[in-house]
Structure 1
Amino acid sequence: QNFEDEDHMWGRIQNVSVVEDENGELMAYSAPSNLSPASEEYQELVDARVEKIRAANPDADMDAVPVDLVTCSGSGLDPEISPDAAEYQVPRLAKATGKSEDEVRDIIAKCSKGRFLGVFGEPTVNVLKVNLMLDGVL
C-alpha cells in the first residue's frame, strides 16, 4: 500500500512496476533500485524525498527525517516503518484527521511490534494497520 495523502501515515518508498501481460492481466514486480549509495543519482533521489517528507510534515518534532522514509528496503516492498518514522508523522496526522497527537500515538502503539524474542530485529510499526485504524476500519 502506497500512501501519500495528508491524513494517512506514509510508509517506505516502494519500487513496484505494474505491467500487462499478453492476456491483458496486470502483474506487479518489486525489486530494489540497485543504485549505489555513492552515486550522484541516488543522492539526488534521496534529497528529493527528504524535501517531500519535510514539506508534508512541517510540524515534525525531529530535525532529521528518519532514513526509512526516504529509502527503499532491499525487496522494494516493506509494510513496516520504524517507531521514529511513525513519530515523525504524528503532528501531520493529528492535524489532518482531527485526532489528538495522543490518540494518534495510541493507534501507533497498537500497530507496533517489538524485537523478536526481545533481541532479534528492530521494533516496527505496520503502516497499513495504522491507516485502517485512522480510517476507523479496524
Structure 2
Amino acid sequence: MGSLYSFEKEKNYLVMTITGNYSYEDFIKYPKLIRNECLKEKMYKILVNVTPVIKTEIPLVELFFLGEHIANVLRDHIKLALLWDGEKHNRFLQKVASNRFALIRTFESDVHAKIWLMYDREDEPFIELKP
C-alpha cells in the first residue's frame, strides 16, 4: 500500500494531509496535485502534513529529486510549509528546493509552520518561537 492524501481549506491557506506508507512514486506526483488544487481554490499557500506517513530511511537521491521537482512545479508561486517530524534529512529537501527558488520550509511544529505560512515579509528573517 502506498500513501493517501486529502485536502482541507482553511481561511487563508490549504492543508494537505498525507497518510500511509512513504512511496517515491506517490510523492513525486504530489507537487502537481498541490499546484492544481491551489489554482482551483485560488489559494497560494499550503501546509503539507507528512507526519502520519510511515517512513523508512529515505535515500538522499530521492529527496534531491523530490526537491528539484517541487521547485520545477511550484517555483515561487506557491508557498509550501512542510510539517515533517524529526527526519534527519528533511532540511536537505528544503535546501534543494529553495536553492531553485521554491518557497518551502520544513517544520516539526504546526504552530511554527502556520506562522511562517502566514508571514508575508519574505525579505525579513523568520524567527522561530522556542517552546
TM (normalized to structure 1)? 0.29
In terms of Rg, which structure is larger?
A: 1
